[in-house]
Structure 1
Amino acid sequence: MSRPRSADAPVLVAARRTPIGTAGRSLATCTAADLAAPVISALWGELRRHGDVDLRDVVLGNCMGPGGDVARVAALQAGLPVSVPALTVDRQCGSGLAAIVLAVSAVRDELGTLLAGGVESASTTPWRSWPPTAGGPPIRYERAPFAPASLGDPDMGPAADLLAADFGVPRERQDHYAARSHARAVTTQRSGGFDDEIVPVAGVVGDDRPRPGLSQQRLARLRPAFRPDGTVTAGNSCGINDGAALVAVVDAATHRRIGTPGLRVLATATAGVDPNRPGLGIVPATRLALDRGGLTLDDLDVVEFNEAFAGQVLACCDALGLDEARVCPEGGALALGHPWGASGAVLAVRLFSQLVRRPGGRYGLAAIAAGGGQGVAMVVETCG
């Protein structure tokens, strides 16, 4: 397969994240801006060490924050010049990676540097209510609609359970995958593999969720979470989490000037699927990104899928013909957690660590599914 010219493609030159906290625990007092600001500040500091930097914008994904322009609040809180604007985007769980896709597109059109990623503070998510009608009380709701009710608007958990059933993914395989994700994350954590990517926040320096000794046998004791005869449980699902992650995106000329290793963005893709099976969004987005990048799954050295549910990831692997053991080699969201608006950007940070900080390959893929039936993917290549 011929591959497109990439010498002038945008490059990710830095990537950092907060620790990922379990909702209500280590980062519970931090707002979305409190989480994003330290990461923005850390990246800004890294960039300034390379001399003058034309920082044009900050783009942050966020799903459940206080509303308004969280990115602008976080950028100002981080001490960026008031002349640097900021944009908040919402593609549900795909928001963090979608923000990076927007930044890559912007840098292609106009030279400069953008900071992009996502943030979520599930711990401080405001309560939401529909306005009262006919003199009745306000009606509290947990989330906005993902899709029109007439098309089907399931929560992600029940939809993942049905997706696993569609693809015949048994409970035992899901528990095995989840246990392996925790084992991999614990190994990476103990070896310091996350240390260089993490920006401490509120005195927290490590992820809350990875559990040593979490075996398939222990997971097998848990009851189905969404359907009486279902296979998805609390143990083979992601957590509800707090965290932020961002990357610095520069144009090719800026990258050549600063001369630092990075990840060249070969292709990105966004796709839609049936809102009743939203977790399948990874599949068409991955296929389209690989096709645009002139690569196949066999070319990839690191594959990072957002592990919202083991059954969902395994169904996507089966649909793609991908060996599940290749996904998230250092542990994924089942172990680390899923801070919704940030999770897609966490994938990009994880690629940066595995391909740039600890060189171990050339090509990488990040992909995530989103409520409402969408998927976002990005293919990258290491570059000096």
Structure 2
Amino acid sequence: MCYVTAERAECVQLCVLSHLIAILVVVMHRIKILSGHLRPPGSSEHRRDLWRSECGCAGSSSPDDVVVVHGRRTAVGKAKRGAFKDTTPDELLSAVMTAVLTDVGLSPDKLGDVCVGNVLQPGAGALMARVAHFLSGFPETVPVYTVNRQCSSGLQALFNIAGAIRSRSIDLGLACGVESMSLRSIGEPGDLSSRLTDNDKARDCIIPMGITSENVAEKFGISREQQDAFALSSQQKAARAQDTGAFQREIVPVSTRFVDADGSERQVTVDRDDGVRAGTTLAGLGKLRPAFKPDGSTTAGNSSQVSDGAAAVLIGRRSAVEVLGLPVLGVLRASAVVGVPPDLMGIGPAVAIPAALEQAGLTVADIDVFEINEAFASQALYCVEKLGIPLEKVNPNGGAIALGHPLGCTGARQVVTLLNELRRRGRSILHEQRSVSKSAAGSRRFSCGFLGQLEPGQTTGRPETCTPPRAVCVGQRRHHECVQQGDEEAAETVVSVAAGRTPVRLPEGRGEYVGMEFYC
């Protein structure tokens, strides 16, 4: 005979109830996942749910994630007269390629591919990249190639390597960007159709970059005062970052040859961006004459600087990265490429950033920090206003107006700078249970964007709850007129002209450009 006391019966009931609750929780979770599958695959709600299911409430991840391992850059030097004026691009590139692998202790034979963004070198720098490859001690069995997507070239290199990883062609790859605007100037565009002038859009492709800046300012009402204020802010932020050592972690010191004005040579170590002008004032910027048209608003002071530099980013499939014991700094989540009118090419980030965010089911309001390339203050300001971004969220360490814009390098440089910034700020961000991501835009007739998530494990550990990522955006677009900000005091401007001629310095008082700068 079996006796069941009232106390034991109550215990049994509680056990049964707890099991039923556990089963119900599992069932409800499964129903939620299945209901998400019924949403249109392209909808933002679907992507947001996928994001939540991917990261899980304990910060889980997929072994197929494309992750960022490490990135470094050189300092950015002023073209023609800066620290790297006598340094070849293969040496610049080799410095960052070597540093990235040395930092994480990775043998180069583990790389599946190397992609280098470059604009001005012949053949997009294919020979230069292979030379840098061997100077870095890479074996001949590791392939390397180059890509030219104008000012998005460094970022496109990242896209290409990420795509190869996603397609399972490779497990690890190095994405780089490099440019020497000291040793290679923009020349004529090559052979073009005689029907060029018969097509409005085709004809717009040979509009000088400075004129496209003026077009943006005029069409969207961006005043000279606004542009100068934005330029001043960029200089101040860059100077502050430089003074506090914010760039030290990302910059690779480069020992190189420097030829003085008298022809004597000396070795210098370059570890500091030399375009930053801490003494810039609004009054000084206001004294500069228009650089591209007599009644214009674009000047040497509110345009980016032509520069020399290189950057490299190591990325891989999470499973392979973990097997090799490499760190994981972030996860690449989405990318986008869009087109914009050639005569308004600077508006690219305003189109590309939303496209990248849409892929992740995010909005501008979800984003904490933006990096938008400052080819010209006019286009950067338009993008900021169009997207409704508070200025305090834009380019926290300054942008190309202060740091410079080595064409093929900038896209990769922005990724490195952003990684450094996120790593520096990551503790407070994750303490608030927010993850971080980034997006970018670029180029004259097209723009690129990508979205990534900061890896929680690189800061204070995984967050206890999973929320859609707070984002960090990078916007990049294609530019070039050879505007040198160092000419501010003399109110002179350097511009590129056609027929392969060297840049021509305009005397004081001459605001108009000379010739045409044919660079599409």
TM-score (norm 2): 0.68
Equivalent positions of 1:265-276 (< 5 A) are: 265-276=332-343
Instruction: Tell me which residue corresponds to 2:270.
Output: 204
> In the alignment, does 2:138 pair up with 1:80?
yes
Matched residue type, 2:116: L
- How far residue 54 of structure 1 moved from its aligned partner, in angstroms, is 2.5
Contact map agreement 2:180 2:308 (CA 8 A) in 1: yes
Matched residue type, 2:288: L
Q: Are residues 175 and 377 of structure 1, via their aligned partners in 2, closer, same or farther at CA, if it must alter by over 3 Å?
A: same
Q: Are residues 245 and 178 of structure 1, via their aligned partners in 2, closer, same or farther at CA, if it must alter by over 3 Å?
A: same
Matched residue type, 2:156: A
Equivalent positions of 1:167-246 (< 5 A) are: 167-201=220-254, 202=256, 203-246=269-312
- Out of 87, 97, 114, the position equivalent to 1:58 is 114
Matched residue type, 2:221: G
- Structure 2: 5+ residue runs without aligned partners? 1-44, 55-60, 257-268, 430-434, 458-520
Matched residue type, 1:184: K
Contact map agreement 1:302 1:351 (CA 8 A) in 2: no
Matched residue type, 1:4: L
Q: Deviations over 1:17-42 (max 9, x none)?
A: 00000002210111111111110001
- How far residue 3 of structure 1 moved from its aligned partner, in angstroms, is 4.7
> In the alignment, does 2:372 pair up with 1:308?
no
Distance 2:196 2:322 in 1: 47
3-state SS, counterpart of residue 384 of structure 2: helix
Matched residue type, 1:75: H
> In the alignment, does 2:50 pair up with 1:4?
yes
Distance 1:224 1:176 in 2: 16
Distance 2:65 2:338 in 1: 21
Instruction: Tell me which residue corresponds to 2:165.
Output: 107
Contact map agreement 1:351 1:364 (CA 8 A) in 2: no
Contact map agreement 1:348 1:366 (CA 8 A) in 2: no
Q: Are residues 54 and 338 of structure 1, via their aligned partners in 2, closer, same or farther at CA, if it must alter by over 3 Å?
A: same
Q: Are residues 174 and 112 of structure 1, via their aligned partners in 2, closer, same or farther at CA, if it must alter by over 3 Å?
A: same
Q: Deviations over 1:299-320 (max 9, x none)?
A: 2222111111111101111222
Q: Are residues 167 and 379 of structure 1, via their aligned partners in 2, closer, same or farther at CA, if it must alter by over 3 Å?
A: same
> What is the number of residues matched between the two proteins?
369
3-state SS, counterpart of residue 389 of structure 2: coil
Distance 1:340 1:252 in 2: 30
> In the alignment, does 2:442 pair up with 1:369?
yes
- Out of 324, 330, 337, the position equivalent to 2:404 is 337
Q: Are residues 237 and 10 of structure 1, via their aligned partners in 2, closer, same or farther at CA, if it must alter by over 3 Å?
A: same
3-state SS, counterpart of residue 58 of structure 1: strand
Q: Are residues 288 and 29 of structure 1, via their aligned partners in 2, closer, same or farther at CA, if it must alter by over 3 Å?
A: same
Q: Are residues 127 and 286 of structure 1, via their aligned partners in 2, closer, same or farther at CA, if it must alter by over 3 Å?
A: closer
- How far residue 357 of structure 1 moved from its aligned partner, in angstroms, is 4.4
- How far residue 250 of structure 1 moved from its aligned partner, in angstroms, is 0.8
Contact map agreement 2:109 2:139 (CA 8 A) in 1: no
Distance 1:127 1:174 in 2: 26
3-state SS, counterpart of residue 329 of structure 1: coil
Instruction: Tell me which residue corresponds to 1:135.
Output: none
Instruction: Tell me which residue corresponds to 2:493.
Output: none
- How far residue 376 of structure 1 moved from its aligned partner, in angstroms, is 1.1
Instruction: Tell me which residue corresponds to 2:511.
Output: none
Instruction: Tell me which residue corresponds to 1:379.
Output: 451
Instruction: Return the structure number with greater relative CO, CA threshold 8 A, min gap 6.
Output: 1
> In the alignment, does 2:90 pair up with 1:17?
no
Contact map agreement 1:243 1:342 (CA 8 A) in 2: yes
Distance 1:29 1:85 in 2: 28
- How far residue 283 of structure 1 moved from its aligned partner, in angstroms, is 1.8
- Out of 103, 109, 120, the position equivalent to 1:46 is 103
- How far residue 213 of structure 1 moved from its aligned partner, in angstroms, is 2.2
Q: Are residues 65 and 259 of structure 1, via their aligned partners in 2, closer, same or farther at CA, if it must alter by over 3 Å?
A: closer
Q: Are residues 53 and 354 of structure 1, via their aligned partners in 2, closer, same or farther at CA, if it must alter by over 3 Å?
A: farther
3-state SS, counterpart of residue 382 of structure 2: helix
- How far residue 294 of structure 1 moved from its aligned partner, in angstroms, is 2.1
- How far residue 289 of structure 1 moved from its aligned partner, in angstroms, is 0.6
Distance 1:227 1:221 in 2: 16
3-state SS, counterpart of residue 367 of structure 1: coil
Matched residue type, 1:296: T
Instruction: Tell me which residue corresponds to 1:249.
Output: 315
Contact map agreement 1:347 1:366 (CA 8 A) in 2: no
Instruction: Tell me which residue corresponds to 2:348.
Output: 281
Contact map agreement 2:178 2:311 (CA 8 A) in 1: yes
Q: Flag as ranges the 4+ runs of structure 1 deviating above 6 A.
A: 142-145
Matched residue type, 2:91: D
Quote the RMSD (CA, aligned, Å).
2.1
Equivalent positions of 1:285-296 (< 5 A) are: 285-296=352-363
Q: Deviations over 1:58-114 (max 9, x none)?
A: 101100014351322221121111111101000001101011111111111124111
Distance 2:382 2:242 in 1: 27
Identity %, equivalent residues: 37
Structure exhibiting the larger radius of gyration computed from Cα positions: 2
- How far residue 366 of structure 1 moved from its aligned partner, in angstroms, is 3.8
- Structure 1: 5+ residue runs without aligned partners? 129-140
Distance 1:243 1:291 in 2: 32
Instruction: Tell me which residue corresponds to 2:4.
Output: none
- Out of 178, 182, 205, the position equivalent to 1:123 is 182
Q: Are residues 252 and 349 of structure 1, via their aligned partners in 2, closer, same or farther at CA, if it must alter by over 3 Å?
A: same
